[in-house]
Structures are given as C-alpha cells and as structure tokens.
Amino acid sequence: MRLDTDPYLERYASRVRGMRASEIRALFSVVSRPEVVSFAGGMPYTAALDFSAVEDVVTRVIRESGAVAFQYGGGQGRPELREQLVEVMRHEGVPAHVDDLVVTVGGQQGLELVAKCFIDPGDVVLAEGPTYVGALGALSSHQADVRHVPMDADGMRVDLLEEAIGRVHAEGRRVELVYTIPNHQNPAGVSLSVERRHRLAELAEEHDLLVLEDNPYGLLDFEGRTYPSIRSLVPDRVIYVGTVSKTFAPGARTGWVAAPTAVRDKLVLLREAADLCPPNLTQMIVETWFATQPWQDQVKRFVEVYRERAETMLAALAEEMPDGVTWTVPAGGFYVWVTVPRGVDTSDLLAKAINARVAYVPGRGFYGDGSGGDQLRLCYSFPDPARIREGVTRLGELLTRELELVRAVYGDRPPDAADDRRSGSGVASQGG
Ligand code: PMP
C-alpha cells in the first residue's frame, strides 16, 4: 500500500475528504524535546494550580457523591455546575441564567456544536483574521466558507466587517455567523475596543446577524479589567462560549455555551447525539472547585504568572529582534503575534527554528485562506521566564541570520511570503 494514499478516501463523507493534517504537524512531534523552548502550544501553566486544594475537592466528590459522580447525567449538564458558571460569568459582567447554559466538553465542543447547528456546506462565516485554529477546524469540518476580517491593535476592524457583510449580501448570500474572540484574542493577543463592541452590536441588529462570542481569556487581563461582552449588549443575537480551561484547568475539559432558548434546545439535542452527556465526575469536580475554593485567588495567581512571562517576552523581543520585525503587545491572555519582514516565510522557517531549539506556530494555520506566511504566534504561558529569554534570543538570532541571507540573495526586493499558499489547519495540536 502506498503511504501517501488513503485507501478509504472514496468512502469518506464529503466534509471529511478535504480534512488533512498540516504538513508542519510532523515537526511538532519534536517540539516536546526538553532542549526545545516551545512557544507553540497554547498551554495553561497548570503547575500553578493549588493541587492540595484540588485533591481535597476530588476526594470530597468521590467520598460524598461517588455513585452520582460515576453515573450518567443530563444532556444539558448539571444545574449545580451551571449555577457556578453563571456566577463566573457574572464576575465578568456577562448576564446569564442557569437555563441558558449547556455544559460542554471544553469550549471546543461548544464551537463544534454551534458549527453543526448552523453551518450547511458553503455557508459564510466572517471571522477575525487571524483566528483560533480550533474554530477553523470546527467550522471547516462543516464546510463553512470562512472569510477573514482584518484586525489592528483594537481588535477586529468593524468598519471592514461592515464592508465584508456588504460584499456577502451583494453576492445574494447571508452571513451565517460572525465569529469573534473579543478578549486577548488567540492568536493576535489584542482585545476589541469598547467602542467597536458597541458598533459590532449595532451591526448585528442592523444586518440581522448571529455573533459567536468565544471568551476563554476574559478573566486573564493583567490589570484585572473586564470589558462589556457582546452578549451583554445584544443577548438574543449572541451565542456565547466559555471554558474553565484557563481559570481552572484544561484537563477538566469543561466549557459551556450560553444561547437563546431555542438554540440551546438544539445544542442539547446535538450534544446528546454526539456523547449523551458531559462527564458527571469532571462536572462535579469543577462545580465543587468553584463553590468551595477561593477560585478568584487562583485566577489571580495564574494572571501573575502570565503577566511576568508576557513582560519577559516583550522585553526580550525588544532586545533580540532584528529591524523590521513587529509584534503585538498583549494586555492579558497567552499570545504575542509577530510579523516578519518580506522574504521570510514562517512556515519554511519552522524547521530551522526547531533545529535552533525554539518553536512557534506559523501564521498560516490561523487563516482559512492560506495567508499569514509572514506571521507567527508566540505563546508565553508555559515556559518559565529564563526559558522565554533563551527562546526569544534563539529566535532573534535565527531571524537575523535569515534576513541577512534574504538580503544577500534578493537585495532590497525579496519575494512576499504573505501570499495565499495553502496549508492544512490543526497545527496547534498540543493545546489551543
Ligand atoms: N477558543 C479559543 C479562542 C481558545 O484559545 C481555546 C483554547 N486554546 C478554546 C476556545 C477551547 O479551549 P477548551 O476546549 O480547552 O475550552
């Protein structure tokens, strides 16, 4: 059998046939080697969790409610957990009622269920460019036509969103969803300004839009600030996805969707078809964590870790990057988004980077249209500050050498890597 052909290809559903792993995925198998400083996977620093408190919670759940914890549950998720999640949302100023929520296996399942609920093949989704790899995976597995709206330091350019809506309407088509990560966006590391949030809400009303608001990082602002959610502005037009992956632990695989009642009912039916119900065991651990532990102190501890790492990365970038390299300045979350000068292709550079013992995610993975060849994502949440400095130094040296090479070969007119070469998604396979 030839290794490059799939003997089952003709049998797959059409939505599966086009799915493929990125060619750079293979490179990530070496990223976990200890000598490589990885800025690739979007992994929370779970070592900062208070594990003795976690142990108490887990023991209590099993001792006091073992028979329930190891039993099936309801498809919407436990009301006790939903109450806690409503409280977490309230902390961020996001209004919700326990009945609005469907508990999911991470925010990722929420995104997938929403895609399944709304997307027919070819339906148009407008999303920030760049956007979250996992959302692109969920949307493309339902054959969405994802179109990107550019961003700047204030998040999605809602003026360009309006233009994009106009173009879709001019084709006689509808915008099925507008997907946004308004807080500390993955991968761009920027947040949507308050003014633009209001404008987005207005556009949703004017153009009868549904907004998919994905908010894993809202509580990870370095100054403890919160911003108005889109849900708080136009609740009937928003499907909101949350997760405990960044406030507690991704290993708990617990997220939720808050949706208008009719949509919520469909999501419960879709989830029951997929996996019957979320696991009672993890739900009870999460609800007990939030009900009995000082979870806000734990979030503060995470934020302190991430703030120090972000500061370290930004200082190191300023010292080590050659002229022409630019990057975003995060005020929370996990990510710095880097743009490199003409002539450097970040997909091609990755193998050399790994040889130089530093890893990142090339920009193309964050676009559905193959653009982003001159961009890359650095995630600072996992390596400690000394490793961050080391990794940025290695990357700076590599980019300096690479740019010298580009100049030697092409002079002042190097080719543009920000082309539309295509590559598969799913590159951030070791965490969001
Ligand atoms: N949305 C975004 C923007 C993310 O970055 C992530 C995780 N990296 C998720 C959703 C999903 O995370 P989880 O499934 O762990 O809740």
Instruction: Give the largest Cα separation in the chain, rounded.
Output: 71
Mean pLDDT of the 383-393 span: 98
Among 147, 192, 142, 139, CA closest to 166: 147
Strand partners, 361: 377
Mean pLDDT of 122-144: 96
Round to whole Å and give the CA distance between 182 and 191. 5
How far apart are the C-alpha atoms of 18 and 150, rounded to whole Å? 26
Instruction: Read off the tokens for 319.
Output: 């010292």
- The chain-wide mean pLDDT, for the chain, equals 94
pLDDT for position 412: 81
Number of neighbours of residue 364 by Cβ within 10 angstroms: 30
pLDDT tens digits along 192-239:
999 999 999 999 999 999 999 999 999 999 999 999 999 999 999 999
Q: Chain centroid to CA 103: how far? A: 18
Share of the chain above pLDDT 70, in %: 94
Question: Is-contact 303 221, C-beta < 8 A?
Answer: yes
- The SS3 of residue 250 is helix
pLDDT higher than threshold 70 for residue 429: no
Nearest protein Cα to ligand 1, atom 4: 432
CA distance 418 to 367: 11
The Cα–Cα gap between 377 and 40 comes to 7
Give the CATH fold of the 3-49+298-410 domain: Aspartate Aminotransferase, domain 1 (3.90.1150)
Indicate whether 431 pLDDT > 70.
no
**Could you give phi then psi for residue 64, rounded to 5 degrees?**
-90, -25
State the pTM of this model: 0.95
Q: What is the pLDDT of residues 285-336, one digit of tens each?
A: 999 999 999 999 999 999 999 999 999 999 999 999 999 999 999 999 999 9
The radius of gyration of the chain's CA atoms, rounded to the nearest angstrom, is 22
> In angstroms, what is the span from residue 328 Cα to ligand 1's centroid?
20
- Residue 246 Cα to ligand 1 midpoint, Å, equals 9
Q: How far is the CA of 428 from the centre of ligand 1 (A)?
A: 11
Cα 122 to middle of ligand 1, angstroms: 24
What pLDDT is attached to residue 3? 56
Please give the pLDDT value at position 415: 80
- Which numbered atom of ligand 1 lies nearest the CA of 111? 10
Please state the domain extents for the chain.
Answer: 3-49+298-410, 51-293
The pLDDT value given to residue 135 = 97
Local confidence band at 414 (pLDDT 50, 70, 90 cut-offs): confident
Question: Residue 95: is it exposed, middle or buried by C-beta count within 10 angstroms (0-12/13-18/19+)?
Answer: middle
Residue 320 CA to ligand 1 centre (angstroms): 30
Query: Among 108, 212, 241, 257, which is best to mutate for testing ligand 1, by the most ligand atoms less than 8 A from CB?
Result: 108
With a cut of 60, say whether residue 419 has pLDDT above it.
no
User: In this structure, which residue's CA is closest to atom 12 in ligand 1?
Assistant: 107
Residue 4 has pLDDT above 70, yes or no: no
Q: Ligand 1: which residue has its CA nearest to atom 8?
A: 432
CB atoms within 10 A of CB 420: 11
CATH of domain 51-293: 3.40.640.10
**Residues 53-111: pLDDT tens digits?**
999 999 999 999 999 999 999 999 999 999 999 999 999 999 999 999 999 999 999 99
Q: How far is the CA of 241 from the centre of ligand 1 (A)?
A: 9
- pLDDT reported for residue 428: 37
- Residues 405-426 have a mean pLDDT of 69
Is the CB–ligand 1 distance for residue 129 below 6 Å? Answer: no
Atom of ligand 1 minimally distant from the CA of 254: 16
Give the pLDDT score at 24. 63
Q: What is the mean pLDDT of residues 231-253?
A: 98
For the CA of 432, the closest atom of ligand 1 is 8
Strands (E), 85-174: 101-104, 124-129, 145-152, 155-156
